[in-house]
Structure 1
Amino acid sequence: MQDLRIYTRLEVLLELRESGRHIHWSPSYRPAGILSGNHASKLRGSGLNFEELRQYQFGDNIRQIDPRTSARLKKPYVRVYSEETDRPVHLVIDQRLPMFFGSVEKTKSVIAAELAALLAWVALDSGDRVGGVVVGVNGIQPISPQRSANNVITLLEAIISANNQLSLVTDAEPSGSLFAQVKPFLSSLTNQSVVILITDIEGLGETDISELEMLQHKSNFVLFVVQDPLEANLSLAHGLSISEGKEQINIQVNNDNQQKYDALYQDKLQQLTLAMSGSSLPLGLLNTHDPVVNQLMMLLQGHE
C-alpha cells in the first residue's frame, strides 16, 4: 500500500470533486473571469452566441443591424448576441523530481496533484472544457480540453502516472525550468484559453515571469507555487529522518552547509519575489502541511 503522503491515487483525486462543489471563485483573486464557465466573463477573446432577431431600439449598436431582415420587413432589425463564456482550461502540472519533497505532511508533488484535481473539477462543474499538460521525469503528456468527466479522469490518470514514477533513485537529467519545457505548448494557445501553472520555486526563473507576462497578453494565466517549510529554513532539518517510502536516512546539518543552502534559496526566492512584485500575473502560494481545499478557499477569498 502506497503512502498517500508521498504518492497519490485516483480515488483520492476523484473524491476532491465533492470538495470542489463548495469552492467559489472570488473576483478579488482571479484574473478577469478565470474559470468563468457559464457566467459572465471579461476574459479577452470572448466569443458571441446568436440569440435572436428583434426590432431596432434606440441605443442599439447599428453594426448589429441585419440588412436582409430589415429590407424584407422594411424596418431595422438587429441581431442580438450573448457573450460566450465557455473557456478551454489548461492545467500545467509539475511532477518533476524537485517536486518530490515534503518535510511536514505531504510532498510538493502530491499537493500539486491534489490542487490540479480540485481545479479541474471546479472548472468542469462550471461548464468549462478541461485539459492540460503533465510534466514528469519522462517528459510531457498533453491532454486536449474537453467538457467531460472522463477527460478529467484521463488528466488525473496522467498526473498519477507521472507522480508514481517519481523516485530518489533515478537517472533523469535536470530538465531546466517548467516554463522552458512547456513554452512551445503555451505559445500555441489562443486568446480563449485559461492557463493554470502549478509548480514550485525551482519551476520558474526570473526571465520566465517576463515571458509569461508577454503570453498573458494573448491568454489568461494564473500561477500556483507550492512551498515546503524546510526549504526556507534548513535548520529545521537537523535530526530529521528522510524517506522515499522504503529507505530512510538521518540528517545532520552543520552551520556552513545551512548558510550556503539558505543563501541560495533566499536568493532564488528574492529573484522570484522581485519578478512577481512588478508582475500582473495572479499568484497563489501553497504549503505542504495544510489541506489543499482549505488553502485554495483562503486564496480565492483574497487571503494569503
Structure 2
Amino acid sequence: MDTNEILQKVRKIEIKARGLSQNIFAGQYHSAFKGKGMAFSEVREYQFGDDVRDIDWNVTARFHHPYVKVFEEERELTVMLLIDVSGSLDFGTTQQMKRQLATEIAATIAFSAIENNDKIGVIFFSDRIEKYIPPKNGRKHILYIIREMLDFHPQSTRTDIGMATAYLTRVMKRHCTSFIISDFYDRKDFTKEMEIANRKHDVVAIQVYDPRAKQLPDVGLLKVMDAETGHEMYIDTSSRKLRQAHTRYWIEREDKLNTVFAKSRIDWTAIATNEDFTKALMLLFKRRA
C-alpha cells in the first residue's frame, strides 16, 4: 500500500469511527467503562451516616466541628488495545477481511476513548509482541495507531494469546481497560493468563470471525490453506459429513472459548465480517453499564 492509499483509508476509517463514537457510543462507553480510582474532591460538614474514616482531622481541628473528605470517581481511564496481527486475520469470504473488521472496531473504541478524555495504547501481537505503542491521548495519536493497523507487517504468522495477555499484565503497572481483538485461533490454553490479567485490569474480549468458519458452502472441491502454518490441502465441500463436522468443530471451539472467558470473568462478544459491528458493541456496552 502506498502512502496516499494509506492516508485515504485512514481518513475513511476516521470519519466512520468518529461518527460512531460521537453519535452512538458517547453515553454507552462512558457508563460501561468507569474509572476505578477515587480522587479527592472537597470537604464538607459531617452529616449523620457519613463514614467516620472519611473525617478530615486537620479541617475538623481548625473549625472545631467535624468535616469529611468527599471523593469522586476518577473518570480518566487508560485503554489498551491488544490487536492480533497473525496470519489467520488475513481471511474473508464476504464483505471484508477479519483484519479490516478488527481495524474498524479498534478505531471506533479508540475514538470513543478520546471523546471521554481517556488515554489509548496498543499492543500488536502474533506469537510474539510485534509492537507496543504506549498510551497517550489526542487525535494525532489515534491516527498514528490507525496507520499502523492498516500497514503493519508482522514478523510471525502464528498466535499466542497467553503470551500477549501476560505481557499486558507486566507492562501496565496501573489499572487499565483492555480490549483483546482477535479471532482467538490459538491451540494453547490461555485461561490462566486471562484470569491473572483480569484480576489486575478490566479485560474485554472481541472475537472477529468469518461466517464460513461456522458453515461451509457446498461448492465442490476447494483448496484451503492454514494462514498461520502455510499448510495447503483440498477438501470436498459437497460431502455433507464434512460440512457437518466443520460446523461441530465451530460449536465445540466456541464452547471452549465461552468456558475460558467465564472462568476468567471476562465480558466478550463475537462479530462476523458480514455483520454490523455497532450493534454487537452496543449490546456489549449495555451489558456492562
- With normalisation by structure 2, the TM-score equals 0.78
Matched, 1:85 2:75: yes
Is 1:112–1:226's contact at 8 Å kept on the other side of the alignment?
yes
* Counterpart for residue 195 of structure 1: 178
Mark the CA change 1:236 to 1:96 in structure 2 (over 3 Å): closer, same or farther: farther
Matched, 1:289 2:271: no
Q: 1:33-72 residue pairs with structure 2 within 5 A?
A: 34-36=32-34, 46-72=36-62
* Aligned partner (choices 256, 268, 286) of residue 271 of structure 1: 256
Is 1:206–1:271's contact at 8 Å kept on the other side of the alignment?
no
User: Gaps (5+ residues) in structure 1?
Assistant: 3-7, 167-171, 243-250
Aligned partners of 1:22 and 1:236: how far apart in 2? 41
Shift of 1:240: 7.6
Shift of 1:144: 1.6
Shift of 1:280: 2.0
Q: What secondary structure does 2:200 align onto?
A: coil
Aligned partners of 2:184 and 2:193: how far apart in 1? 16
* Counterpart for residue 23 of structure 2: 22
Equivalent position amino acid for 2:265 in 1: S
* Counterpart for residue 13 of structure 1: 13
Q: 1:64-213 residue pairs with structure 2 within 5 A?
A: 64-135=54-125, 139-162=129-152, 165=153, 173-190=156-173, 192-202=175-185, 204=186, 207-213=189-195
Is 1:35–1:128's contact at 8 Å kept on the other side of the alignment?
no
Q: What secondary structure does 1:192 align onto?
A: coil
* Counterpart for residue 230 of structure 2: none
Is 1:190–1:219's contact at 8 Å kept on the other side of the alignment?
no
Mark the CA change 1:174 to 1:264 in structure 2 (over 3 Å): closer, same or farther: farther
Identity across the alignment (%) = 21
Mark the CA change 1:88 to 1:226 in structure 2 (over 3 Å): closer, same or farther: same
Mark the CA change 1:18 to 1:35 in structure 2 (over 3 Å): closer, same or farther: same
Mark the CA change 1:237 to 1:90 in structure 2 (over 3 Å): closer, same or farther: farther
Aligned partners of 2:197 and 2:129: how far apart in 1? 22
Structure holding more helix per residue: 2
Using CA pairs below 8 Å that are at least 6 residues apart, which structure has the higher relative contact order?
Answer: 1
Comparing 139-148 and 222-231, the one that deviates more: 139-148
Mark the CA change 1:257 to 1:279 in structure 2 (over 3 Å): closer, same or farther: same
Deviations 1:78-124 (A, max 9, x none): 22221212210101111221100001110000000000001111121
Equivalent position amino acid for 1:134 in 2: F
Mark the CA change 1:185 to 1:108 in structure 2 (over 3 Å): closer, same or farther: same
Shift of 1:157: 1.9
* Counterpart for residue 220 of structure 1: 202
Equivalent position amino acid for 1:130 in 2: I
Q: What secondary structure does 1:90 align onto?
A: strand
Comparing 230-239 and 10-19, the one that deviates more: 230-239
Is 2:191–2:263's contact at 8 Å kept on the other side of the alignment?
no
Aligned partners of 1:76 and 1:101: how far apart in 2? 65
Deviations 1:233-258 (A, max 9, x none): 2345547899xxxxxxxx97414876
Aligned partners of 2:104 and 2:188: how far apart in 1? 26
User: Gaps (5+ residues) in structure 2?
Assistant: 3-7, 225-232
Deviations 1:119-142 (A, max 9, x none): 111121122221121236995221
